[in-house]
Amino acid sequence: MRFDKAKLQAISQQLNLILAKLEEMETQYASVIEKIHPVYQRSAGNLIHYLAFRSFDIDLLQDRLRDQGLPSLSNIEGHVKDSILTIKTIVSHLLHENVSGTYQRTISVTESKKLLNRNTKLLFGFKSRKRRTRIMVTLPSTAAEDKQFAYKLLKAGMNSARINCAHDNPEAWSEMIKNLNLAQKSIKKKCKVMMDLGGPKLRTGAMKPGPKVIRIRPQKNALGIVVKPANVWIAPQGVNPPHDEADAIIPVDELWFKKIKRGNIITFIDSRGKKCKIQIERKQGEGRWGVCSDSAYVNTGADLNLQKTKESGEEIVQVGELLPVEEVLLLHPEDTLILHKEPIPGEPAKYDENGNLAEPAHVSCTLPEIFNDVRVGEPIFFDDGKIEGVIEEKHEDHLKVKITYARDTGTKLKADKGINLPESDLQISGLTEKDIQDMQFVAKNADAVNFSFVNTEEDVQELLDVIKELESEIGIILKIETRKGFKNLPGILLTAMQTYPIGVMIARGDLAIETGWKNFASIQEEILRICEAAHIPDVWATQVLENLAKKGVPTRSEITDAAMSQRAECVMLNKGVYIEKAVKMLDRILRRMQRFQKKKETMLPKLDDADQLHLSHEKYDI
């Protein structure tokens, strides 16, 4: 092959500039690197090298390298200086120049892989026998009661269990961990415990209580024919179903309840005067399951008529006290929404007798501190971006928001839905009083703490100080879920690398809204690259196989997303009725995909019969 001398000289000059920048930043941040824990010190140096390398626009350099048949530096993250020196040496030989010995070689390709594997093992423990990428599963409340729940997930392929401190309480968390430990002993498989701190969650406040009524709604097809009756849980007051399978819960008198048998029919007249019935199918725990094919509205005090199949007579009882239905705000484009600073219960818009707006919809927010930081003209998002708006007016006690995006037919906004202010400079600490209190439990019982709402190095230092005060050696997973958190990621990592083990969670739900839909794909890519440069394991989180976990059937797009997730060291699944099925599916997808991709490096396994112009993938099932 004939090499172009002029292009090789241009490549050499560009490499010299990059190497000089690496040396400059090494000196500039030497004091920062000195503070890094010995486990991560060389990795911190490589991260500095990578940031120096990326400070150049290297598209032209990569094109020149490819034109000359040389490696294009596209997978340089984990071994920056070593790879650049290798290319520099090759180019110098091709130009018949003396190879300079002034640069000391650093982390090699092989060493880079070893460092990432070691750090991943420190945080997540051992990998599964046939799978490189770990699986983290969020435990629901039922994991505290159902002793088999954790056992089934471990059998399916779970490597670490996530407990969210925003839900339940220390007693429930203890039971979850106890059941998990029993399952580990039974199956002889280790599983890490990760606990999420709730963080300063910005959400909509409570809504004004509505009528005390429940709706029974069976599934119907396009013709209005019932294809699946509603599952109705009937039990004494306060006895809840063991799983999230109930379409409706009806509390009843305990003495009347004891007379219910399998096969009995319960009839009632709903709030609209419609005659309906529920057929009792089975007993479970302290309750009964029934099915109802009628659409019905049942309110507190409604008569339930128990008709026995083998005995004469009827038994009548009134429906017990139902929880009031919360109001829902129905918002349209161009609507006005008032966001209160004080905890005033939310209400939908009110109209006069002529249909004119009398009062706009209003709701409060859970973090009144944000009123000090927002500005007129800044965007605001509700409920994972389903509703978009802009702040039109700012007052001492409320914000006036103009809705810029919602469905034309209206989008519902409920209580406890997320609020995002992506362009506002929110001065909110990463630790709340509840987080500090929860850390007392987390530090003693978990292997790692998932740190929510990390925005700055100061947030990380605050957590490090709490951990030191508790005399704990717990691992840390930094949840990157804001624009500010992404912007400050290098400094956040270098601060966290003062301890070990650490990792990063790409909280893709909030992050996508905070950074903008059009930007999110590239931002997700950059986080993966920065973490690989620091040899820090990352977690691919939010909505992975969510449709499968919740409804039992995956979408095509989420299968592709799950396949891409093997680029991270760990993938997180959220809870759902079909979570065991989701874990099994993810396990199969990850095991198969690792034959085709390792991180972002493309693998080329043999294609059987390719020379016969045939394609086959059966051999990749393992």
Question: What is the per-residue pLDDT across 382-421, written as a single tens digit (0 to 9) for each?
Answer: 998 999 999 999 999 999 999 999 999 999 999 999 999 9
Long-range contacts of 368-374 (CB under 8 A, 24+ apart): 368/341, 368/342, 369/427, 369/428, 370/202, 370/421, 370/424, 370/426, 370/428, 371/341, 371/399, 372/427, 373/421, 373/424, 373/425, 373/426, 373/427, 374/399, 374/421, 374/424
Lowest mean pLDDT among 132-146, 319-333, 555-569: 319-333
How far, CA to CA in Å, does 43 sit from each of 40, 84, 318, 365, 501? 5, 16, 67, 41, 13
Instruction: Read off the pLDDT of each residue in 148-174 and give the average, rounded to a whole number.
Output: 95
DSSP class per residue in 179-246: HHHHHHHHHT---EEEEE------BB-PBPB--SEEEE--EE-TTS-EEEPEEEEEEETT---SSTT-
Backbone CA torsion sign across 216, 221, 222, 224: negative
pLDDT of amino acid 314: 67
Q: How confident is the model at residue 602 (pLDDT cuts 50, 70, 90)?
A: confident
C-alpha 188/C-alpha 190 separation (Å) is 7
Instruction: Read off the pLDDT of each residue in 226-234 and give the average, rounded to a whole number.
Output: 93
φ and ψ of 444, to 5 deg: -90, -25
Instruction: Read off the pLDDT of each residue in 118-123 and give the average, rounded to a whole number.
Output: 96
Ranges of each domain in the chain: 5-107, 116-198+429-602, 213-318, 329-420
Q: Nearest Cα to 481, choosing from 438, 442, 520, 533?
A: 520
- Token pair in block for residue 451: 């740190």
Lowest mean pLDDT among 351-355, 456-460, 487-491, 581-585: 351-355
Lowest mean pLDDT among 64-73, 224-233, 433-442, 606-615: 606-615
Q: Is the pLDDT assigned to residue 312 strictly greater than 60?
A: no
Residue that has been written with the tokens 């399998």 in this structure: 262
Q: Is the pLDDT assigned to residue 621 strictly greater than 80?
A: no
Lowest mean pLDDT among 93-97, 382-386, 533-537: 93-97
Instruction: Read off the pLDDT of each residue in 368-394 and give the average, rounded to a whole number.
Output: 95
Instruction: Read off the pLDDT of each residue in 166-189 and give the average, rounded to a whole number.
Output: 95
Q: Are strands 361-364 and 336-340 parallel, antiparallel or unpaired?
A: parallel
Q: Is the pLDDT assigned to residue 220 strictly greater than 70?
A: yes
pLDDT of amino acid 201: 86
Question: What is the per-residue pLDDT across 509-527, written as a single tens digit (0 to 9) for each?
Answer: 889 999 888 898 999 999 9
Q: Is the pLDDT assigned to residue 104 strictly greater than 70?
A: no
Q: Is the pLDDT assigned to residue 607 strictly greater than 60?
A: yes
Contact 400, 392 (CB under 8 A): yes
Question: What is the per-residue pLDDT across 185-194, written as a single tens digit (0 to 9) for each?
Answer: 999 999 999 9
pLDDT of amino acid 598: 86
> Within 13 Å and on the Cβ side, how many CA atoms surround 156?
23
Q: Is the pLDDT assigned to residue 9 strictly greater than 60?
A: yes
Lowest mean pLDDT among 219-228, 247-256, 321-330, 431-440: 321-330
Question: What is the per-residue pLDDT across 41-63, written as a single tens digit (0 to 9) for each?
Answer: 999 999 999 999 999 999 999 99
Q: Is the pLDDT assigned to residue 375 strictly greater than 80?
A: yes
Contact 143, 153 (CB under 8 A): no
Helix or strand holding residue 382 (H, E): strand 379-382
Q: Is the pLDDT assigned to residue 466 strictly greater than 70?
A: yes
With pLDDT > 70 as the criterion, what percentage of the chain qualifies? 96
What is the separation of C-alpha 208 from the centre of its chain, rounded to a whole number of angstroms?
Answer: 30
Instruction: Read off the pLDDT of each residue in 327-333 and give the average, rounded to a whole number.
Output: 93
More confident residue, 311 or 369: 369
pLDDT of amino acid 99: 72
C-alpha 278/C-alpha 280 separation (Å) is 6
C-alpha 121/C-alpha 115 separation (Å) is 10
What dihedral angle (degrees, nearest 10) is formed by the CA atoms of 91, 92, 94, 96? 170
C-alpha 33/C-alpha 40 separation (Å) is 9
Enumerate the β-bridge partners of residue 209: 326
Instruction: Read off the pLDDT of each residue in 220-231 and give the average, rounded to a whole number.
Output: 91
Q: Is the pLDDT assigned to residue 313 strictly greater than 70?
A: no
Answering whether pTM is above 0.75, one says: yes
**Angle formed by the axes of helices 109-124 and 41-54, nearest 10°:** 120
Q: How confident is the model at residue 541 (pLDDT cuts 50, 70, 90)?
A: very high
Q: How confident is the model at residue 558 (pLDDT cuts 50, 70, 90)?
A: very high
Helix or strand holding residue 139 (H, E): none
Q: How confident is the model at residue 245 (pLDDT cuts 50, 70, 90)?
A: confident
CATH architecture designation of domain 213-318: Beta Barrel (2.40)
pLDDT of amino acid 615: 83
* Helix, strand, coil in percent for the chain, rounding step 5: 35, 25, 40
Q: Is the pLDDT assigned to residue 102 strictly greater than 60?
A: no
C-alpha 216/C-alpha 293 separation (Å) is 9
Q: Is it true that 213-318 and 329-420 share their CATH fold? A: yes
With pLDDT > 90 as the criterion, what percentage of the chain qualifies? 74
| Angle subtended at Cα 129 by Cα 127 and Cα 134, rounded to the nearest 5 degrees | 30
- Indicate the average pLDDT of the chain: 91
With H, G, I as helix, E, B as strand and everything else as coil, classify residue 363: strand
pLDDT of amino acid 352: 87
pLDDT of amino acid 603: 81
Class of the CATH domain delimited by 116-198+429-602: alpha beta
Q: Is the pLDDT assigned to residue 310 strictly greater than 80?
A: no
How far, CA to CA in Å, does 561 sit from each of 75, 77, 137, 545, 575? 21, 23, 17, 8, 18
Q: Which CATH number does the domain 329-420 belong to among 3.40.50.80, 3.40.50.11930, 3.40.50.300, 2.40.33.10?
A: 2.40.33.10
pLDDT of amino acid 620: 62
pLDDT of amino acid 1: 57
pLDDT of amino acid 463: 96
